[in-house]
Amino acid sequence: MSMESVRETLRALRLEGMLASLDQQALSPAFGDMAFIDRLQHLLAGEHHERQVRSRQRLFRQAKFKHTAADPSRILFGGERALDKAQIAELIACEWIRNADNLLISGATGTGKTWLACSLGVAAINRGLSVRYVRTNPMLEEMRLAHLDGSLSKLRAALVRVSLLILDDFGIAPINEQAKEDLNELLDGRSNSGATMVAGQLEPSEWHAYLDSPHLADAILDRMSQRAWRLQLRGPSLRERK
């Protein structure tokens, strides 16, 4: 079999990583004296790396982050932000996501809640975990429409199965009883199966008054506060620095 036939076979099998590594071997004399098993290991390593890159790109597209440039290495810790480096390091390690814990982020407008949420989401993707970012009220509106066209089960299932669901802008506007029920059902579906991150201006102690529905408020608070990490961002608006 000729080299070109091998290349065509690898391309047909979509083994792009092995193909790139094979081309590298053909161009570099350093591989000439290598044992077969070592050259094969190099080809397999190339394919493994290529699949990891493709998987990360796919997970990143599916996450739909608001801040696509968010990066856990660029999280700001300075001065009044009150971020604990050790705690953030633990969150970046993502063991809390694997344990299906929750994370509640609160803070005033401009303190970087969304950027931090997206950065932690990127950290999860870097570890091969699936993430979905949504703004809470638009998501609940999508659920309302899904009730009408019969697609609610499909939508809810998609939100339940991700490793990390990020609910941003929680508490930014009032929600009706149906929306509260939908939120409760979503969180119930994710209990013990996936991690949920909630980011908004309201502190958890203010959620009950915001939800203004004793039974549903108790249920939502109970599901979110169990095994929950908490971050309260402080300091002046970061937007003023731009």
Boundaries of every domain in the chain: 3-62, 64-241
pLDDT at 184 over 70: yes
> For residues 80, 86, 91 and 93, what is the CA-based torsion angle, rounded to 10 degrees?
140
pTM for this entry: 0.83
pLDDT at 242 over 50: no
List pLDDT tens digits, range 158-172: 999 999 999 999 999
Q: How far is CA 43 from the centre of its chain?
A: 31
pLDDT at site 119: 97
| Structure tokens given for 46 | 């190339």
Q: Please state which of the ranges 22-36, 129-143, 150-164 shows the lowest mean pLDDT.
A: 22-36
C-beta of residue 92 within 8 angstroms of C-beta of residue 127: no
| Structure tokens given for 146 | 């899904």
| Structure tokens given for 127 | 């570890």
> For residues 122, 83, 188 and 131, what is the CA-based torsion angle, rounded to 10 degrees?
0
Q: 224-228 long-range contacts, Cβ below 8 Å, gap at least 24?
A: 224/102, 224/104, 224/187, 224/196, 224/198, 225/102, 225/104, 226/102, 227/99, 227/100, 227/101, 227/102, 228/101, 228/102, 228/103, 228/104, 228/204
The H-or-E segment that residue 168 falls in is strand 164-168
pLDDT at site 240: 52
Pairing of strands 228-233, 131-135: unpaired
State which amino acid sits at residue 173.
A
Local confidence band at 194 (pLDDT 50, 70, 90 cut-offs): very high
pLDDT at 126 over 50: yes
List pLDDT tens digits, range 57-109: 999 999 999 999 999 999 888 766 778 899 999 999 999 999 999 999 999 98
Q: Distance between CA atoms of 206 and 149, rounded to whole angstroms?
A: 34
The H-or-E segment that residue 106 falls in is strand 102-107
| Structure tokens given for 124 | 């999860």
| Percent over 90 (pLDDT), the chain | 61
Instruction: List all residues 6 or more positions away from 45 whose beta carbon is below 8 Å from its beta carbon.
Output: 21
CATH code of the region 64-241: 3.40.50.300
